[in-house]
Structure 1
Amino acid sequence: MKASRFFIGTLKEAPADAEIVSHKLMMRAGMIRRVAGGIYDYLPIGLRSIRKVEAIVREEMNRAGALELLMPAVQPAELWQESGRWEKYGPELLRLKDRHDRDFVVGPTHEEVVTDIARREIKSYRQLPVNFYQVQAKFRDEIRPRFGVMRGREFIMKDAYSFDKDRAGLQVSYQKMFDAYVRIFTRLGLEFRAVVADNGSIGGSGSHEFHVIAETGEDAIAYCPTSDYAANVEMAEALPPQGERPAAAEAMTKTATPGKAKCEAVAELLSIPLTRTVKSIVLATDSEDTGTQVWLLLLRGDHELNEIKASKVPGLGELRFASEAEIVEWFGTPPGYLGPIGTKKPVKLVVDRSVAHMSDFVVGANEKDFHITGVNWGRDLPEPEIVADLRNIVAGDASPDGKGEIALCRGIEVGHVFQLGTKYSDAMNATFLDENGKPAPMEMGCYGIGITRILGAAIEQNFDDRGIIWPESIAPFEVVLCPMGYDRSDAVRAAADKLYEDLVAAGIDVILDDRGERPGVMFADWELIGVPHRVVIGDRGLKEGKIEYQGRRDTQAQLLDAASVAEVVIGRVRPAKAV
């Protein structure tokens, strides 16, 4: 590729609405341009990287036995009504009507469509297992699209769906996809972790997320440095404290705490550790039969509520935070001084494991400006009936696998694999005839990779003050040739053209910058774009038989013999295929 025939749209400054590094650099490097909120054009240089990601994904999906197809972006509402997600999915589902006033959606995902394919095409156990996948644009109407391709409304996704005759078969298919994802992200050249995750709105019985490790990641990941354990903080189990609960040593006392509504302020006033305080979180559930039920969740003062864990407590599946009016009705006081002793109306008590192990702790007195100190289970409060893991795990906690302590890092989710089971096949009557000639529901798995999101995640992990530093496998070009005075020097032009031809013949993805730009402009453009290998050809160096080479991560350039520069560069780009 010659730069004069390519579109290079670099910018000196990022637009004002670009918030994070990847968004700024993709805009400045001429990879994307905003069309509307969360919707982007992918310019030629950005599309080249996308196609390279897609190629790796396709190769590994095919290697794992998946079969590529293509499903429609616009889907009939009837399928979503069958699955029950027409009502449940929420406003992110873009709904529309055709000219005949029939309802459709712009697909955010394709479980319904692929299940419809399976129920129409698969009749016998002899046709199973099968795994269909596609690479396609999706649309999710995010309430606040931001961060460029990291949280856009339209994005490119690889989604795959496996169908098996039984649970054992699903687990085999799931493991094949898990292993394929490990190969994909390894080949992409990214530092990543596979973590146990929540299934969310997709449903099913088990899942893993694949996260690119980056300080700017939205997700917190708990992992054990001395074992293979890793989980999204939402799913990481906080183990119960070890040993016996300490015996009571203080009398229960109502204590004035004027203006101290937070646990931190109470601990400071009373000169006690924050770990001696207990915070009260009031939730509510609504039922047509029984009306509103108010729940009081107790957590240690230094811990944070994990809403996903709380939602798994029986009865709290449809939880919401109680209103201030409800809090006053049930507790007799506004938030800030709430506790389990002396509530105005009965509440359902759920106690975190850490709190169930505490003694001589401090709770709100259900009276403004007062707390109760020296509270103990079995003496001042009945032993808790419902004890659950309600909190986010923190660094230093015991690892759930018992092999060390937890550490935390940040990650960007770029892939997710789910064991769906029969959630969709039951709802949509996707059955097959088993070995005994009886109908049985298909066991499903689904497996997604955010193709365009990978670009943003890769940049968040690989950049410096000059621009992007692409992993070689997904860089828009592998090598850039920067001739000094290409339009003025016959020797430079001849050497550049010869090197270009040699690299192209060796299968190297190379671009020759023949624009005639000044060296500073050329270097700034290609460092911003992030091409991994740069070769500079100039009259002075050629007279000495030298050509300059520098890797994008190198701090200094090195001089190579002009006669062997092609061989050296090919060896750097393709170490296993060096000539």
Structure 2
Amino acid sequence: MKQSRTFIPTLREIPSDAEIVSHQLLLRAGFIRQHMSGVYSYLPLAKKVLRKIENIIREEMDAIEAVEVLLPTLQQTDLWEETGRWQTYGQELFRLTDRHDREMALGPTHEEVITSLVRDDVQSYKKLPLTMYQIQTKFRDEKRPRFGLLRGREFIMKDAYSFHSTEESLDVKYNEMLEAYSRIFTRLGLEFRTVLADGGSIGGKSTHEFMALSETGEDTIAFSETSPYAANIEIAEVNIDYAKSSEPMRELEKVETPKKKTIVDVATFLNVDPSKIIKTIIFRADDELCAVIVRGDHDINEIKLRKALSVSELNLASESEIEKTLSCKVGTIGPVKLPLEIKVYADNAVKEIVNGICGANEDDFHLKNVNPERDFAVDKYLDLRFIKEGDLSPDGNGTIRFAKGIELGHTFKLGVSYSEAMKATYLDENGNSQHFVMGCYGIGVSRILAAIAEQYNDANGLKWPKKLAPYDIHLITINMNDEIQTKLSNELYHLLKTYRYDILHDDRDERAGVKFTDADLIGLPVRITIGKMAQDGMVEVKFRETGETVVWQKEEITEKLQSFFN
């Protein structure tokens, strides 16, 4: 491809609204352009990379007998109402109305659509198991789109769905899919981890995420230093036998703490460690208020709390609710003498506190020497806190460390949650009606483009892996008005194409510095420069990954390129 005939609008300056490296470089190198907040156009270079990513995904999906389909983007409201997600999915569901005033949605995911398809056309166990996948644009109305392709409103996704007659069959396919995902991300050259995860709005009893390691990632991975354990911090269990102090219980004491509301303020004022403080937060769980207690040095994990309480909605109680119920303000709430109708849930670490400190449910006062069970009752002790670095690994092997990650893929064992809600059944070998057992498996295709850009770059631009680069070779002619340079460029261009190399030929009437700067920004694996040495049949070759520069005779170019690319 002649560079003068394609569309690569490079930028010299970093766009002011681009916060992270991948967003900056994909914009500057002319891969993408923003259409509106969270919505991007994929330009020729990006489209070529996306096609290579999609081909790897297709090869691995085909290898585990998944078949490709293309489902509608515009989805019926009726299907979402069958599962109840029309009401519960939230504001990210992009709702719209057609000319007949019928409500519809732009698909953020396709569980309802695929389940209705199989419900209508698969009646017998003989057609199971069945796995279908698609690569398609999705829409989620993100409140704050940011980080370029990492969190957008419109994005490209591969989603697959499997249907089974038994849980055992689902287990087999689920493990096949995990292995296929590992092969995909390995072939893409990404540094990644497979981690335990939360099902979120899709649900499922067993889920895994595939995370590309990156300091700009929005997710935190908790992993063991010495074992394979890894989990999203949102769901990482805390398995610690807390040591209980041997100090004797002291008499409860009320102390004045003027304008001291935060854990740090109270700990400093009373000269105690934050771990001695009992932090109490009031939540509204569905329609009831409850008190949730953790140690002062720990943070409540709302995902764990929601699951433990089996509630669909969980929110912090409003200040007006707290003042009405407890006659105090946030910052001085404590578990002692709470109203009887408020249930109390405590993290396991609270059980071992001796002579702790808590709010007195009275402004500007706290209680000292507070002891669980003696001074307040707990309805249930649970694992309710976020895991911390240095904690014992949940598998008992090693200690926990944190890393940042970009979510690339997510797999779910859905079971029968969707098929039961949508009355999707088949006839088993005995002629009995059974609900389909389902799995769901997603990959963020456009996210992969950004994740690769995050992991493969330097101060000068992108550094594409050989298998994913939009072109194999950047052929640069320094002076297009020089007959010798032009002739050698054309010879090489046509010769290398016969060897099936994909060539981007910079034939523009630009200064050499501009061409080199653009070449570094775009980041193709090999740059061949034809300049003054052309009269001697020699070219300069630069390898983008290492920055190494060598000089080759034109007769040895094909042999040495074959060695490099193979």
Instruction: Bin the TM-score by the shorter chain.
Output: over 0.9
Q: From the superposition, tell whether residues 343 and 439 of structure 1 become closer, same or farther in structure 2 (CA, over 3 Å).
A: closer
Contact 1:330 1:345 in 2 (8 A): no
**Identical amino acids, percent of aligned pairs:** 46
Q: CA RMSD in A?
A: 1.9
Whether 1:478 aligns to 2:452 is: no
Q: 1:325 aligns with which of 320, 334, 337?
A: 320
Partner of 2:426, secondary structure, is: strand
Greater Cα shift, 40-49 or 410-419: 40-49
Whether 1:340 aligns to 2:335 is: yes
Residue aligning to 1:458: 452
Contact 1:253 1:373 in 2 (8 A): yes
Cα-to-partner distance string for 1:224-268 (whole Å, 9 max, x where unaligned): 121111110011001133455544354432222222211112222
Residue aligning to 1:444: 438
Q: Distance in 2 between matches of 1:236 and 1:138?
A: 29
Q: Distance in 2 between matches of 1:354 and 1:246?
A: 15
Cα-to-partner distance string for 1:314-342 (whole Å, 9 max, x where unaligned): 36542221111221233221111111113
Post-superposition shift, 1:97? 2.7
Contact 2:254 2:360 in 1 (8 A): yes
Unpaired segments of 5 or more residues in structure 2? none
Contact 1:330 1:347 in 2 (8 A): no
Residue aligning to 1:355: 350
Residue aligning to 2:367: 372
Cα-to-partner distance string for 1:329-356 (whole Å, 9 max, x where unaligned): 3322111111111336652111111111
Residue aligning to 2:284: 284
Post-superposition shift, 1:18? 2.5
Cα-to-partner distance string for 1:204-240 (whole Å, 9 max, x where unaligned): 2111111111101111110112111111001100113
Contact 1:92 1:143 in 2 (8 A): yes
Q: Distance in 2 between matches of 1:315 and 1:329?
A: 26
Contact 1:330 1:346 in 2 (8 A): no
Q: Distance in 1 between matches of 2:56 and 2:139?
A: 23
Q: Distance in 2 between matches of 1:375 and 1:79?
A: 53
Q: Which amino acid aligns with 1:123?
A: Q
Contact 1:263 1:278 in 2 (8 A): no
Residue aligning to 1:549: 541
Greater Cα shift, 152-161 or 493-502: 493-502
Q: Distance in 1 between matches of 2:286 and 2:423?
A: 31
Pairs within 5 Å for 1:556-571: 556-571=548-563
Residue aligning to 1:302: 297
Q: 1:397 aligns with which of 391, 404, 410?
A: 391
Partner of 1:202, secondary structure, is: coil
Q: Which amino acid aligns with 1:94?
A: F
Pairs within 5 Å for 1:111-122: 111-122=111-122
Q: Which amino acid aligns with 2:562?
A: I
Q: 2:564 aligns with which of 558, 572, 575?
A: 572
Q: Distance in 2 between matches of 1:211 and 1:473?
A: 20
Partner of 1:70, secondary structure, is: coil
Q: Which amino acid aligns with 1:65?
A: E
Q: Which amino acid aligns with 1:37?
A: S
Partner of 1:40, secondary structure, is: strand
Greater Cα shift, 21-30 or 122-131: 21-30
Greater Cα shift, 159-168 or 478-487: 478-487
Q: Which amino acid aligns with 2:46?
A: G
Residue aligning to 1:497: 490
Cα-to-partner distance string for 1:48-70 (whole Å, 9 max, x where unaligned): 11111111111111111100111
Post-superposition shift, 1:130? 0.9
Q: Distance in 2 between matches of 1:92 and 1:199?
A: 16
Cα-to-partner distance string for 1:180-203 (whole Å, 9 max, x where unaligned): 111111111111111111111112
Whether 1:513 aligns to 2:506 is: yes
Pairs within 5 Å for 1:18-97: 18-97=18-97
Residue aligning to 1:431: 425
Cα-to-partner distance string for 1:454-490 (whole Å, 9 max, x where unaligned): 1112222222221222233222122212232243141
Q: Which amino acid aligns with 2:413?
A: Q
Contact 2:244 2:353 in 1 (8 A): no
Q: Which amino acid aligns with 1:172?
A: V
Post-superposition shift, 1:313? 2.2
Q: From the superposition, tell whether residues 378 and 36 of structure 1 become closer, same or farther in structure 2 (CA, over 3 Å).
A: closer
Post-superposition shift, 1:377? 2.7
Q: From the superposition, tell whether residues 269 and 542 of structure 1 become closer, same or farther in structure 2 (CA, over 3 Å).
A: farther
Q: Distance in 2 between matches of 1:430 and 1:519?
A: 64
Q: From the superposition, tell whether residues 487 and 278 of structure 1 become closer, same or farther in structure 2 (CA, over 3 Å).
A: farther
Contact 1:489 1:539 in 2 (8 A): no
Q: Distance in 1 between matches of 2:535 and 2:447?
A: 43
Partner of 1:392, secondary structure, is: coil
Post-superposition shift, 1:84? 1.8
Instruction: Give the 4+ runs in structure 1 shifted more than 6 A.
Output: none
Residue aligning to 1:290: none
Partner of 2:443, secondary structure, is: strand
Q: 2:529 aligns with which of 524, 532, 536?
A: 536
Q: Distance in 1 between matches of 2:349 and 2:493?
A: 66
Post-superposition shift, 1:99? 2.9
Pairs within 5 Å for 1:522-533: 522-533=515-526
Q: Which amino acid aligns with 1:377?
A: P
Post-superposition shift, 1:417? 0.7
Q: From the superposition, tell whether residues 21 and 555 of structure 1 become closer, same or farther in structure 2 (CA, over 3 Å).
A: same
Post-superposition shift, 1:542? 5.6
Contact 2:142 2:153 in 1 (8 A): yes
Cα-to-partner distance string for 1:354-377 (whole Å, 9 max, x where unaligned): 111221221112222222222223
Greater Cα shift, 191-200 or 362-371: 362-371
Partner of 2:407, secondary structure, is: strand
Q: Which amino acid aligns with 1:350?
A: Y
Residue aligning to 1:184: 184
Residue aligning to 1:129: 129
Contact 1:535 1:549 in 2 (8 A): yes
Contact 1:336 1:364 in 2 (8 A): yes
Greater Cα shift, 336-345 or 273-282: 336-345
TM-score by length of 1: 0.93
Q: Which amino acid aligns with 2:313?
A: E
Q: Which amino acid aligns with 2:285?
A: T
Q: Which amino acid aligns with 1:70?
A: L
Contact 1:508 1:570 in 2 (8 A): no
Residue aligning to 2:156: 156
Partner of 2:309, secondary structure, is: coil
Residue aligning to 1:233: 233
TM-score by length of 2: 0.95
Q: Which amino acid aligns with 1:523?
A: F
Partner of 1:472, secondary structure, is: coil
Greater Cα shift, 24-33 or 14-23: 14-23
Q: Distance in 2 between matches of 1:124 and 1:172?
A: 20
Contact 1:340 1:363 in 2 (8 A): yes
Residue aligning to 1:215: 215
